Amino acid sequence: MLSLTDPLIDSVYFNSSFPIQASMHDPDLTALRVFCQIVEAGSFTAAADRLGMAPPMVSKQLARLERDLETRLLNRSSRSMSLTEAGGLFHAQALLALEALDAGLALVGQARAQPRGELKVSAPVWMANARFAALLAEYRRQCPEVRLDVYLENRMVDIVAEGFDLALRMNNDGAQDVVSRRVCAVSFHCVATPDYLRQCRGETAAAALPAMIVPNLMQFGRLKMPAARMGLAPSQPVAMKSSDATLSYHAVMAGMGAAFLPDAMVADDLAQGRLVHVHAHATGEAFTGQLFAVYPSRRHLPPKLRSFVDFLLARLGQSAP
């Protein structure tokens, strides 16, 4: 297909000796579509079937287009049909024009469309908390025709192959067929109950360090938290390993040990004194990661997906870690 910058196309539109000139009548859009369908289908009858029109109307639209352009686009006989030189040049540009118009109409239609349908979302297990649930409830109040289908699991789902609309992850997916948008920062706090810390500090110096409840590699979506940066001693005992942050949270609340947990899970407990920071130097931001919204790369996002991503950015994008 010839491009808009092709020298031959320039000669078509700017050479006054060529029959197609800027002074001619603007061609009708219906006639343009009919002409392109005739070329694509290979016959007037096949084009009429595709367009749901009577064959005489197809012939009439082509004749109108040729009259407006003041040039013949197709050589046709009772048995054959072929593009003229002018028809071949015009067809290439007509296709580009119709594609651009269809893209614009699709954008306008999506902007007006009400978000609806099922939205399939993948998120890490630690997002099973009251704050995230409140966000989902608020979104549903804004977009009641969207049905949320949320999968909480500690693995990297294949968004395209498994049919997900969106994945929330603690890492920026570098795949070329997906889009990753930063949503917000997420802080992880090293916490324990006050009673458990008093018990640890009442023991001998050799056993003064609290036992840790540590995540497996996937609990926070491949988020890497170096032990030194978390303030953990090399000899610090491990009470339990878990792939589920919710279980880790309840184990901490039961006095089993200390754990690094996301702010959304422990902020209320810290504020109420049910949990405290383990290390004396802790500021509440021992480690900060980034939450990303990852979705398939598409030219036009469905209204349900666009509305949910925009909602998350509006609610969480300006939030503090």
Report the CATH number at residue 49: 1.10.10.10
In a domain, 61, yes or no: yes
**pLDDT interval class at 17 (50, 70, 90):** very low
**pLDDT interval class at 139 (50, 70, 90):** very high
In a domain, 1, yes or no: no
Same domain, 155 and 282: yes
| Higher per-residue pLDDT: 91 or 202 | 91
pLDDT at 37 over 50: yes
- What is the CB neighbour count within 10 angstroms for residue 280? 6
Domain stops at, among 74, 90, 112: 112
In a domain, 94, yes or no: yes
Provide the pLDDT for residue 176.
Answer: 63
Each residue of 140-190: pLDDT tens digit?
A: 999 999 999 999 987 888 888 888 999 998 877 666 678 888 999 888 888
Segment among 32-46, 104-118, 173-187 with least mean pLDDT: 104-118
Domain stops at, among 89, 112, 135: 112
14 within 8 A of 108, measured Cβ to Cβ: no
pLDDT, average across residues 310-315: 92
- Contacts of residue 2, defined as CB under 8 A and 6 or more positions apart, other chains included, come to 8, 9, 89, 92, 93
Number of domains in the chain: 2
pLDDT, average across residues 68-84: 87
| Higher per-residue pLDDT: 228 or 52 | 52
In a domain, 263, yes or no: yes
Each residue of 241-274: pLDDT tens digit?
A: 887 888 999 999 999 999 888 888 898 999 999 9
CA–CA separation, 42 and 138 (whole Å): 53
Same domain, 26 and 68: yes
pLDDT at 25 over 60: no
CA–CA separation, 279 and 275 (whole Å): 12
Same domain, 104 and 130: no
- What is the CB neighbour count within 10 angstroms for residue 200? 17
Provide the pLDDT for residue 255.
Answer: 92
Residue 272 Cα distances to 188, 197, 258, 268, angstroms? 18, 16, 17, 6
The single-letter code of the amino acid at 149 is D
Same domain, 68 and 122: no
Same domain, 191 and 50: no
In a domain, 291, yes or no: yes
Q: Among residues 155, 148, 147, which one has the least CA distance to residue 132? A: 148
pLDDT, average across residues 231-248: 76
pLDDT at 284 over 80: no
In a domain, 170, yes or no: yes
Same domain, 106 and 130: no
**pLDDT interval class at 14 (50, 70, 90):** very low
In a domain, 2, yes or no: no
pLDDT, average across residues 207-219: 66
**Look-up: residue for tokens 């130097």?**
281
pLDDT, average across residues 4-15: 34
Same domain, 108 and 121: no
Segment among 61-70, 118-127, 209-218 with least mean pLDDT: 209-218
Provide the pLDDT for residue 185.
Answer: 87
Domain stops at, among 62, 86, 112: 112
Same domain, 56 and 123: no
CA–CA separation, 271 and 276 (whole Å): 9
| Higher per-residue pLDDT: 238 or 204 | 238
pLDDT at 12 over 50: no
pLDDT at 229 over 60: no
Provide the pLDDT for residue 43.
Answer: 87
Provide the pLDDT for residue 164.
Answer: 92
Provide the pLDDT for residue 96.
Answer: 87
Same domain, 140 and 108: no
| Higher per-residue pLDDT: 294 or 9 | 294
Mean pLDDT of the chain, nearest integer: 78
Same domain, 120 and 267: yes
Provide the pLDDT for residue 13.
Answer: 34
User: Which domain CATH number covers 316?
Assistant: 3.40.190.290
pLDDT at 57 over 70: yes
Same domain, 106 and 136: no
Q: Among residues 121, 203, 135, which one has the least CA distance to residue 166? A: 121
Same domain, 231 and 248: yes
pLDDT at 41 over 50: yes
In a domain, 101, yes or no: yes
pLDDT, average across residues 68-88: 87
204-241 per-residue burial string, b: 16 or more CB within 10 A, e: under 16:
eeeeebbbbbbbeeebbbebebeeeebbbeeebeebee
Q: Which domain holds residue 85?
A: 7-112
